[in-house]
A and B are shown apart, each in its own frame.
Chain A
Amino acid sequence: MKKETKLKIKIAEAATGRYIENRRFTIQSLAKELEITPKQIFDLFPNRSSILRYYYDSRILIYREQISSIKEYSTFTLSEKLNNIFLSLLDQFSEHREFVLLTYRDMVGSPVRSSAFEKLFKEALREIFQSDEQIATSAKILQNRFLYHAIYLQFHGLILFWKNDESHLYENSMALVDKWCALQEEIFYSKIVDKGFDLGKFLYYNSPINFTTSCALTAKRSEA
C-alpha cells in the first residue's frame, strides 16, 4: 500500500473519532491530533465530508491488502471468499462501530445515491465470482450487475442485523454471514441445472418422439 494511501487511511480513521465527539469538528483539530499540518490534509481531501466517506472506501482497500497476505486465498471456496469480504468489513466496522452506526445509512446505505464504496464493493464481488472455477456453467448467467447489487443490498441487511446484535463479539452476525454464504455457494456450485440441460439435450437428439430427429434418422437409414 502506498505511503499516501496509508496517510489517507490514518486521517480517515482519526476523523471517525473526532466525528463522534463533535460532528462539526475542524480540520485544524484533526491535524493537531495527528501531529500534521492542515495543509497536508487539504492536499489529500477537499473537505470534511470527503474524509469521512473515505473511511468507507478505504475499508475495501484494507480488505484487498488482507487477502494478499492470506497464503491460501486462491484455494478458498466461493463461500469462504464471500465470508472473507463480509467478515473483513464487519471486523473493521466493529472497531469504529459507533461511527458506522451513525453514518452508514447516509454515506453508504442510501438507496438513491451511489457511493464509491458501493462501486468498490461490487467490483470486489465481481472478481470473486469471475475467478471461481467451480461455479456451475448454468449459474454463470446469473453473474451480472443485478447479482452484485442484490448482494450489496444483503450487506445492508447484515449491517442492520449487526446493529441490533447483542451476542458476544457479534458472533450471531458471524453466524448469519456463514449461513448466508454457505447457501450462496450451494446455489452457485449446484450442477442440477447443468445436468438437467445435458439430459434434455440428449433426449432432444435421441428420442424417437422427436419429429425432427426421427425424420433425420429415418432418412439416414434409408440412405444406408
Chain B
Amino acid sequence: MSDFPSSKYARGKIFAKTGLKVGTNYATHYLKSLANGTNDKSALHKKSAEQVFGEFTKLRGTALKIAQSFSIDQGFLPEEFSEVMTQAQYKVPPINRSLVRSIIKRELGQYPEQLFMDFDTRAIAAASIGQVHKATLHDGTKVAVKIQYPGVRDTITSDIALARSLFKRLVSDGPQIDEYIDEVKNTLIHETNYIREGESIDRFHERFSSHEVVTPQWIPDLSTERVLTMTFIEGVHLDEFLNSSPDRESKNHYGQILWNFFHKQIYDHEEIHADTHPGNFLFTPDGKLGVIDFGCVKSFPEEFFMDYLRLLPTHLHRDEPAIKELYYRLGVLKADPDTDEKENQYYQFCMNFGYTFAMPYLEKSFDFGDPEYKKLIRGYTKNAPITNEPRGNKHFIYSTRVHLGLYHFLMKLGAKVDTEGSQKVVEDVLSDALNDE
C-alpha cells in the first residue's frame, strides 16, 4: 500500500489541513490581539463579549434558541464562550404538572384526563419554548402533546431586545446585526405558532413519509396556537442509539436515510426542516428515521438558495473567480481580497473551510466517521474568525445550521454514506436554475 494520497478525498484532506493552519493562525492572532489590546477597542470588545455571553445565560429558553440559530452550540465559537452558552440552556426544567393540566383546559376546553384515555403528566422532553407529553386518545392512538410555556411570546420579544442591545455593544456594523437579529426573532415567533407548525407537519408528512422516513400526523382538533397534538413516533434518539452499540451497517443505514432526506429537501427546496438537531430525529425499531419538530421550517429565497448550492461545485473545483463572485453576492466579502489584507484573511479562511465542507461531494461515498475529517471540521468551526463585524447573508444563519447540523449528526453517528446521488441532486437543481434563467 502506498502512502501517496491517490484518491480525490485523500488529496483534498491535504488542502483542507493547510487551510486550517491558515485559519488557526488567523484566529490565534485575533484572540491574542484581543487579549493584548493591540486592536482598536479590543479590550472593550473582549469585555463586551464576556458580558454578552454572561447575560445570555439569564435568557434561558430564548438563549438556547439564539445559540442554536447562530450555530453556537455546534462549536462555532472558542470553548471559553461556548461553554458559557451550553451550561444551563439545554436543561430547561419542565413546568409543573398542575400548570400543564390548566394550560390544556384553557386551550382545549377540558382537562387532559377528560380529553385523553391516558395522559402522562411528566414531560418526555422539555425544550426552550415548550414541553412534550405522551398521551393516548380514546381510540387508542398514541399521541405527543406539545405545550407552550405561558407567556413565552412576550419573553421572546423582551429577550431579543436584550440580545440586540448586547450584540450591538459587541459588533460595529449595527444595521447588519439588526438584520440577523430580526431573522432570528421572526423565526422564533413563527415557532410559537403551533397551528403553523401543525400545517408544516401535514406538508412534510405528505412529502416525506415513506418506507424510510416517518413523520408525525397533525391532529388539528386537539391543537391550538399554544398546544399541538400529533401522532407519537416510537424510537430512540442518537445518544441512546449509540449506547446500544449498533453495528456499522445500522449506522450507515440510518446515516444514508438522513443524508437522502436532506437532499430530497434540496431537490424540492420549497420548505426545509431547519433544525437539524439530534433531538429532532428518532431511530425507530422498524429501521426508519423519525423526523419530528417542525417548528423551525424555512423557505429560502431562490437566489440565495442557488448561490448557496453553487458554493459546493465552485469550492470543489477551486474555481477562485467564481468563488469570489459568489462571496460578493452572498455578502461574505466586502472588498477585494487581493488588495485588502483583512478581506484576504476572510477569503482564505472561508475558501478553505468551504472546500473542506464540500469534500463529502468529491467521491461516490463519504465516511463521516473518519476521525481526521471530524478534526478538520471541528478545527474550522472552533477557529472561525470571530470579529466584531458580521459577515454574510442573513439566510446563512439557518442554511448553515441545517447543513452543519447534518454533518455533526453524521459525524457523531459515524456513518459512511453514498453521496453519488446527492451530487446529481445538486447538479440537477443548479442546471434547472440555469435553464430557468
Seen from chain A, the residues whose Cβ lies within 8 Å of a Cβ on chain B are: 66, 69-72, 76-77, 79-81, 83-84, 87-88, 90-91, 94, 167-172, 174-175, 177-178, 181-182
B30 partner residues in chain A, CB cutoff 8 A: none
Q: In the complex, what residue of chain B is closest to A92 when comparing beta carbons?
A: B105
Nearest chain-B residue to A84 (Cβ)?
A: B98
Q: Which residues in A have their C-beta under 8 angstroms from that of B102?
A: 83, 87-88, 90-91, 174
The residue from B105, B113, B150 contacting A69, defined by CB atoms under 8 A apart:
B113
- B111 located at the interface, meaning its Cβ lies under 8 Å from any Cβ of chain A in the complex: yes
Q: Per-residue 0/1 for B31-66: is the Cβ within 8 Å of any A Cβ (1 yes, 0 no)?
A: 000000000000000000000000000000000000
B97 at the interface (CB under 8 A from A): yes
B175 within 8 A of A: no
Q: Specify which chain B residues have a CB less than 8 angstroms from the CB of A84 in the assembled complex.
A: 98, 101
Contact check, A76 vs B150: say whether CB atoms are below 8 A apart.
no
Residues of the B chain whose Cβ atoms lie less than 8 Å from the Cβ of A172: 150-151
Contact A174 B105, beta carbon cutoff 8 Å: no
User: Of B113, B151, B226, which contacts A175 at CB under 8 A?
Assistant: B151
Interchain CB contact under 8 A, A83 and B98:
yes
- Asked whether A70 and B113 contact (CB < 8 A) given A87-B99, A169-B106, A174-B103, the answer is yes
Across the interface, B99 reaches (CB within 8 A) one of A69, A83, A169, A170, namely A83
Residues in chain A near residue B97, CB distance under 8 A: 72, 76, 80
A210-B436 Cα distance, complex, nearest whole Å = 95
Contact B121 A72 (CB under 8 A): yes
Distance in Å from the Cβ of B201 to the closest Cβ of chain A?
Answer: 23
Task: Give complex CA distance A66, B103 in Å.
Answer: 15
B residues with a Cβ closer than 8 A to A are 95-99, 101-103, 105-107, 111, 113, 121, 150-151, 154, 226
**B409 CB to nearest A CB, Å:** 35
Cα of A91 to Cα of B108 in the assembled complex, Å: 12
Q: CA of A178 to CA of B94 in the docked complex: distance in angstroms? A: 12
**Residues of B with C-beta under 8 A to A174:** 99, 102-103, 150
The number of inter-chain residue pairs (CB within 8 angstroms) is: 57
Q: Are B121 and A83 in contact (CB under 8 A)?
A: no
Q: How far is the CA of A77 from the CA of B13 in the complex (A)?
A: 57
Complex: how many Å from CA A81 to CA B99? 10
Would B151 and A171 count as touching, CB distance under 8 A? yes
Determine the chain A residues whose CB is within 8 A of the CB of B96 once the complex forms.
77, 79-80, 83, 178, 181-182
Q: Across the two chains, which residue of chain A brings its CB closest to B111?
A: A66
Given A70-B113, A72-B121, A171-B151, A178 contacting B107 (CB threshold 8 A): no
Beyond A69-B113, A175-B150, is A94–B98 a contact (Cβ under 8 Å)?
no
Q: Are B98 and A81 in contact (CB under 8 A)?
A: yes
Would B98 and A76 count as touching, CB distance under 8 A?
yes
Q: Is the CB of A87 within 8 A of B113?
A: no
Tell me how far the C-beta of A83 lies from the nearest C-beta in chain B, rounded to whole angstroms.
Answer: 4
B121: chain A residues within 8 A (beta carbon): 70, 72
Chain A residues with CB under 8 Å of B151's CB are 167, 171-172, 175
Contacts of B150 in A (CB 8 A): 171-172, 174-175, 178
**Bound: A77/B97 CA distance, A:** 9
Q: Which residue on chain A has the smallest CB distance to residue B120?
A: A72
CA–CA, A168 and B105, complex, Å: 14
A83 to B150, CA, bound (A): 14
Query: B123 to chain A: closest CB distance in Å?
Result: 13
From residue B17, how far is it (CB to closest CB) to chain A in Å? Answer: 53
Once bound together, how far apart are the Cα atoms of A88 and B121, in whole Å?
16
What are 21 A-B pairs with beta-carbon distances under 8 A? A69-B111, A76-B97, A77-B96, A79-B96, A80-B97, A80-B98, A83-B96, A83-B98, A83-B99, A87-B101, A91-B105, A167-B154, A169-B106, A169-B107, A170-B106, A171-B106, A171-B150, A174-B102, A175-B151, A178-B95, A181-B96
Query: In the complex, A32→B96 CA distance in Å?
Result: 43
